[in-house]
């Protein structure tokens, strides 16, 4: 039986292992990397300022031994706005420009976000986002669409809840690991021929978790349940106020992420 990679304790145990980390980076980003230190809960590299997200903490962070590459892995168990991820990405780049005279960026920055919940966001045209892998690079392109490879910086968002048969196998291996650890931990079907997957399975197998790790993981799950309840209660209060102001169910659903059925039930209770 596997530990749940939706749990912060289990996720960090797996992806701070050098073998797992390097294999994951190789398969997702297509680069080989050597690291000496893999950090967790690294604080914001830049001090917060007005309008900037203050709670800026990197889940897993490492620099290559040659000091040329920065990689950050962020786990998110709930859907959030992409602006937050973009903030992390750009701050890691901006941190290297320490003064107005030092515009050159010495290190290539990679951010990998692992979302364990289905997306609840849409494009500007209202079309829902249902992609398993999303990529963002900062390279400019000509009017003819030719990309000029000036920067190697890359942002990758992974969401195993939206499977796509065209996803490359080396990426599929990791998405399967994440998804099945959450939804089929007792009978996972995984590609253990991949050395990184094999090592991750060993690390998060329930029998290999220490008593302290199990306790800490349970505490994290309990805290998540409380937080979810608080968020739901907050959404319900917002929905009630919106109902009293005469907003339509569809608009309230967009604002709160509650279902139409939940909103209609609240409407009946208020009446």
Three-state secondary structure readout of 63-113? EECCCCEEEEEEEECCCCCHHHHHHHHHHHHHCCCCCCCCCCCCCEEEEEE
Domain with 205, as residue range(s), is: 8-209
- 140 and 260 share a domain? no
- 105 and 137 share a domain? yes
Residue 233 lies in a domain: yes
Residue 1 lies in a domain: no
Residue 164 lies in a domain: yes
- 253 and 186 share a domain? no
Residue 189 lies in a domain: yes
- 261 and 155 share a domain? no
Q: 209, 240, 262: which is the final residue of a domain?
A: 209
Residue 219 lies in a domain: no
Say which residue the tokens 């289905």 belong to: 118
Element (H, E) at 171: helix 169-183
Residues 6 and 3: their CA atoms lie apart, in Å, by: 9
As given in the structure block, the two tokens for residue 82 are 């992409």
- 153 and 256 share a domain? no
Residue 216 lies in a domain: no
Q: How many domains does the chain have?
A: 2
Residue 95 lies in a domain: yes
- 153 and 248 share a domain? no
As given in the structure block, the two tokens for residue 140 are 């400019």
- 171 and 261 share a domain? no
Residues 179-234: tens digit of each pLDDT? 999 999 999 999 999 999 999 999 999 999 999 998 988 888 787 677 667 778 88
- 125 and 232 share a domain? no
End-to-end CA distance of the chain: 48
- 99 and 129 share a domain? yes
Compute mean pLDDT per 10 residues along the chain, 271 residues long, and list them.
93 96 97 93 60 64 91 79 81 73 80 88 83 93 93 93 94 97 94 96 94 88 73 86 88 83 89 77
Predicted local distance difference test score (pLDDT) of residue 44: 60
Helix, strand, coil % in the chain, rounded to nearest 5: 40, 20, 40
- 58 and 104 share a domain? yes
Q: Classify burial at 229, counting beta carbons within 10 Å of its beta carbon; exposed 0-12, middle 13-18, buried 19 or more.
A: exposed
Residue 64 lies in a domain: yes
- 75 and 124 share a domain? yes
Residue 110: what are its φ and ψ, rounded to 5°?
A: -125, 130
Cβ proximity of 108 and 68 under 8 Å: yes
Predicted local distance difference test score (pLDDT) of residue 106: 81
Sign of the dihedral defined by the CA atoms of residues 102, 103, 105, 106, in that order: negative
- 243 and 192 share a domain? no
- CB atoms closer than 10 angstroms to residue 104: 7
């Amino acid at each position: 039986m596997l530990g749940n990679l939706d749990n912060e304790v289990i996720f960090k145990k797996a992806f701070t292992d050098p073998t797992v980390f390097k294999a994951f980076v190789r398969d997702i980003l297509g680069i080989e990397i050597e690291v000496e230190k893999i950090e967790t809960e690294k604080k914001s590299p830049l001090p917060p300022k007005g309008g900037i997200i203050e709670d800026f903490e990197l889940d897993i962070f490492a620099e290559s031994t040659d000091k040329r590459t920065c990689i950050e892995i962020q786990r998110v168990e709930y859907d959030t706005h992409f602006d937050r991820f973009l903030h992390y990405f750009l701050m890691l780049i901006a941190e290297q420009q320490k003064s107005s005279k030092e515009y050159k960026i010495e290190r290539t920055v990679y951010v990998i976000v692992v979302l364990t919940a289905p997306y609840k966001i849409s494009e500007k045209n209202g079309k829902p986002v249902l992609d398993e892998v999303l990529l963002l690079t900062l390279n400019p392109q000509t009017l003819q669409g030719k990309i000029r490879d000036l920067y190697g910086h890359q942002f990758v968002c992974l969401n195993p809840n939206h499977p796509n048969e065209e996803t490359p196998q080396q990426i599929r291996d990791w998405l399967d690991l994440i998804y099945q650890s959450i939804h089929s931990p007792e009978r996972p079907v995984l590609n253990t021929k991949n050395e990184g997957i094999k090592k991750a399975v060993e690390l998060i197998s329930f029998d290999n978790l220490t008593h302290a790790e199990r306790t800490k993981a349970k505490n994290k799950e309990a805290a998540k349940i409380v937080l979810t309840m608080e968020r739901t209660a907050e959404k319900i209060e917002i929905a009630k106020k919106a109902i009293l102001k005469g907003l339509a169910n569809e608009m309230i659903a967009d604002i709160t992420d509650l279902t139409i059925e939940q909103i209609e039930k609240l409407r009946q209770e208020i009446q």
